[in-house]
Amino acid sequence: MDIVVFGAGSLGSLIGGLLARTHDVTLVGRADHVHRVREDGLSITGLCAEHVTPMATTDGRGLHADLALVTVKAFDTEAAASTLETGSFDIVCSLQNGMGNEAVLSQHFETVLAGTATYGARRERPGTVACTGLGEVAIGAPDGGPSRAATRVGDAFGDAGLNMTVETDMPHRLWEKLAINAGINPVTALAEIENGGVLEAPARALARAATREAARVARVEGVPLPDAAAVSAMEAVAEMTAENTSSMAQDRQRGRQTEIDAINGFVVDRAATHGLAVPTNRTLTGLIRAWEHGNGLR
């Protein structure tokens, strides 16, 4: 399969690199990373060490492939879609944080899939990405149900040796992931702690409250996600990635815009449409947005 990975950061480089073991992959990323991959190939270190030689470019315009994997930050989804639209793809799949990405992509492409990935990834330096945690990729139709496109992508991912699930209930997957991120990301970013820190007081109470609120909104939206199940999933991820720094905490450390709007901000927005109070998510969202505004990022 010909695959374009649009957004070759940590996760995009890891998934793209693993796919390049079997498939023809083109990474679209930043200049320093692209230059090193072109010169020396992509090195994957850590739990799934590999050295592969995908194509790499900084220009995502006019590309053609069977599949485009979108791995950019949520606030860059519209720009990514507009760029990819200058080429042609049979299938476009989001492997991003937050909610709403698939809706944006669907305005530009006919066949769009939703995806989640629990592999841990850290870009160590240009041309090198570390696999910090073995997980799985789940892909399916954004609204749920069977999907031939998802089966096709799932077979391709499986051929490359990735742990793969073709999911028929992606709404549940997406909301569960959102609830997990809502509990871990802003708390670790604001408190400047690693993921495992949300398992200890006083951060634990905040993370649990944000996760429960997200689960409550999910249920109002028609997705059966019990509070206890959401909290259990959040704490399991925090324990499994205890020594990792969340993506939002990394963004804050590096002075970059975060994905707060697509995570806790999404919970706040959807809750408002149902007249539901989500005070913890509202406070966490406000604090992160205030930091972004104060640093000229918003």
Write the pLDDT tens digit of every residue in 200-242. Answer: 999 999 999 999 999 999 999 999 999 999 999 999 999 988 9
The encoded tokens of residue 157 equal 């991912």
Same domain, 14 and 107: yes
Last residue of a domain, one of 125, 140, 166: 166
- Tokens 């629990």 correspond to 118
| Residue 94 CB coordination number (10 Å) | 30
DSSP labels for 103-129?
HHHHTT-SSEEEEEE--EEEEEETTEE
Span of 29-33, 144-148, 243-247 with lowest mean pLDDT: 243-247
DSSP SS3 for 285 = helix
Same domain, 192 and 142: no
> 8: closest CA among 51, 66, 64, 56?
56
> 15: closest CA among 148, 127, 141, 160?
160
Same domain, 193 and 290: yes
Same domain, 157 and 195: no
CA dihedral 58, 162, 230, 113 (to 10 degrees): 60
Mean pLDDT of 255-270: 97
Q: Where are the beta strands (DSSP E) in the chain?
A: 2-6, 24-28, 42-46, 50-52, 55-57, 64-70, 88-94, 112-117, 120-125, 128-133, 137-140, 164-166
Last residue of a domain, one of 138, 166, 194: 166
Last residue of a domain, one of 166, 184, 208: 166
Task: Give per-residue pLDDT as tens, 63-106.
Answer: 999 999 999 999 999 999 999 999 999 999 999 999 999 999 99
Same domain, 32 and 158: yes
Same domain, 16 and 118: yes
Same domain, 18 and 146: yes
Whole-angstrom CA distances from 246 to 5, 17, 88, 111 are 22, 22, 33, 31
Model pLDDT, residue 134: 87
Q: Does residue 244 have a pLDDT over 90?
A: no
Please give the angle made by the CA atoms of 147, 150 and 153, to the nearest 5 degrees.
155
Q: How far apart are CA 271 and CA 46, in angstroms?
A: 40
DSSP SS3 for 150 = helix
Same domain, 194 and 243: yes
Whole-angstrom CA distances from 277 to 18, 26, 209, 224, 264 are 42, 44, 12, 19, 13
Same domain, 199 and 158: no
Mean pLDDT of 170-190: 97
What's the CATH number where 55 sits? 3.40.50.720
What's the CATH number where 174 sits? 1.10.1040.10
Model pLDDT, residue 44: 97
Span of 93-102, 160-169, 241-250, 279-288 with lowest mean pLDDT: 241-250
Structural domains counted in the chain? 2
- Please state, for a pLDDT cut of 70, what percent of the chain lies above it: 100
CB 118 within 8 A of CB 135: yes
Model pLDDT, residue 243: 87
Same domain, 271 and 128: no
In eight-state DSSP terms, residue 131 is: E
β-sheet bridge partners, residue 5: 27, 69
CA atoms within 13 A on the CB side of 114: 25
Q: Is 73 a catalytic residue?
A: no
Which structural domain range is residue 60 located in?
A: 2-166
Q: Does residue 122 have a pLDDT over 90?
A: no
Q: How far apart are CA 172 and CA 160, in angstroms?
A: 26
Same domain, 137 and 272: no
Model pLDDT, residue 120: 86
100: left (phi over 0), alpha (psi -120 to 50) or beta: left
Same domain, 17 and 160: yes
Please identify which of the residues 177, 208, 216, 252 carries the catalytic annotation: 177
